[in-house]
Amino acid sequence: MKTITVNVSEPVYEDFQAYAQKSERKTSELIREAMEEYRRAHIERKTSLRDRRPASVGGRIDPITSEDDLLEEMLDGARN
């Protein structure tokens, strides 16, 4: 385990200390747990779109032809 120095405000540290005391745990344990939770939520690599399964959203409303301008159709749909 790596030892680090972190500067936090007194109120934040006091909150961690009080909660650690209530839960009969060490303050450093709570801070490590908070850092791990942050890492999982914000830093850890998420799954790629390639890893996801396609979702069915139903069938086509109108058949698409080579003359269709899909961008124009999407923009018209957004305006309605």
Q: Is the pTM of this model over 0.75?
A: no
Question: Position of tokens 């069938």?
Answer: 59
Predicted local confidence at residue 48, as pLDDT: 76
CA-to-CA distance for 51 and 28, rounded, in angstroms?
36
pLDDT score recorded for residue 28: 94
Give pLDDT tens digits for 30-75: 999 999 999 988 888 777 777 778 888 877 777 777 777 777 767 7
Beta-carbon count within 10 A of 34 CB: 11
Where does the chain show beta strands of DSSP type E?
A: none
Read off the DSSP letter of residue 51: G
* CA distances in angstroms from 66 to 62, 63, 69, 70, 71, listed in the order given: 13, 10, 8, 10, 13
Structural domains of the chain sorted by starting position, each given as residue range(s) with its CATH number in brackets: 1-44 (1.10.1220)
